[in-house]
Amino acid sequence: MLENFFTSEYFVWELARFGIKILLTLLVTKIFRLLWRRTFTADTIHLKFIKNVMSAFIWVAGLAYALSAFSLFQDIAVAFFAGSGIAALAIGLAAQESLSNAFNGLFISIFKPFEVGDRVHLVNANITGFIEDITLRHTVIRTFMNSRIIIPNSVINKELIENSNFCNPQASAFVDVIITYDSDVPRACEILADVIGSHPDFVDTRTPEARETAPKVPVFVRAIGLHGAELRASMWTETITNNFAACSDARKSIIEEFERNGIKISVKKYCAPSTQ
């Protein structure tokens, strides 16, 4: 059958028709993506999933349309649909994992545990990064090293997800410092509050009522340790993305202000283990 197919006088013509239909499929896909970008300016997880589903459908339909150019595949299609019950069972078993990923991707798209651009941490897998894309099969996470982690939708849908942007994107991190006991503790607390509160990325999270009574940046003596008084304040920013840099800037300024005001940062001394 295959030998007759390749030696048939119509083979070249059928091959040409196949190529034309593939080119048409490529053209339709490009037009679809262009119209999609012009119609939807937002880049949500729901729209990403729908776009990828429709692109996959275009390609599957286009490939089936292109293969119909060959008489051999028309005969195979007839035989396939004649035994469609057994064929459907075989395909269902073979594509079980793929269907699972597709359905899980649909659930993620509907219930939206994360959006494109969200910073997430997969607790069990210990993966942290930013959601970049979702397809029928997988979700793409961009790490801080700019690499991509491809996770099947059936896997990520079962994960414990820590989403830094869910509901409220504001983020907080502690700025801790230990000062010696002969330093001016009240002045050190004032410096911490002033430096953090005056940073351009700092966000005041107090309610309008609390702003009249509560300090802008509360500073706590979190412990009276062996090596000095341990101070702690919180740096709040609009998102977790710029929180690390803001904390870094604040720590540099705190060191400089402590030096100007004669406040000593405690240095823990290393004690060698006893040999006795």
Convert the pLDDT of each residue in 60-97 to its tens digit. 888 777 777 666 665 555 555 455 555 555 555 556 77
Three-class SS of 153-192: HHHHCCCCEEECCCCCCCEEEEEEEEECCCCCHHHHHHHH
Question: What is the dihedral sign for C-alpha 40, 165, 118, 109?
Answer: negative
Under the banding of pLDDT at 50, 70 and 90, the label for residue 11 is low
Q: What is the pLDDT of residue 149?
A: 96
Tell me: the pLDDT tens digits for 49-59? Answer: 888 888 888 88
How far apart CA 218 and CA 261 sit, in angstroms, is 20
Token pair in block for residue 32: 């679809």
Do residues 254 and 195 touch, judged by C-beta distance below 8 A? yes
pTM for this entry: 0.67
Three-state secondary-structure class, residue 223: strand
> What's the rounded mean pLDDT across residues 26-33?
86
* Candidate ranges 2-6, 62-66, 68-72, 165-169; pick with highest mean pLDDT: 165-169
Q: Output 13 or 262, whichever has higher pLDDT.
A: 262
pLDDT at 224 over 80: yes
Residues with Cβ < 8 Å from 44, sequence gap 6 or more? 112, 115, 116
Three-state secondary-structure class, residue 136: coil
> What's the rounded mean pLDDT across residues 227-238?
95
Do residues 95 and 141 touch, judged by C-beta distance below 8 A? no
Q: What is the pLDDT of residue 38?
A: 84
Q: Which amino acid would we find at residue 94?
A: A
Q: What is the pLDDT of residue 10?
A: 62
Q: Give, for 55, the enclosing helix (H) or strand (E).
A: helix 45-67
Question: What is the dihedral sign for C-alpha 160, 163, 168, 173?
Answer: positive
User: Which is nearest to 250 in space by CA: 268, 266, 236?
Assistant: 236
> What's the rounded mean pLDDT across residues 220-237?
94
pLDDT at 163 over 90: yes
pLDDT at 275 over 50: no
User: Which is nearest to 22 in space by CA: 57, 88, 69?
Assistant: 69
Q: List for the chain the helix, strand, coil content (%; round to 5).
A: 50, 20, 35
pLDDT at 5 over 60: no
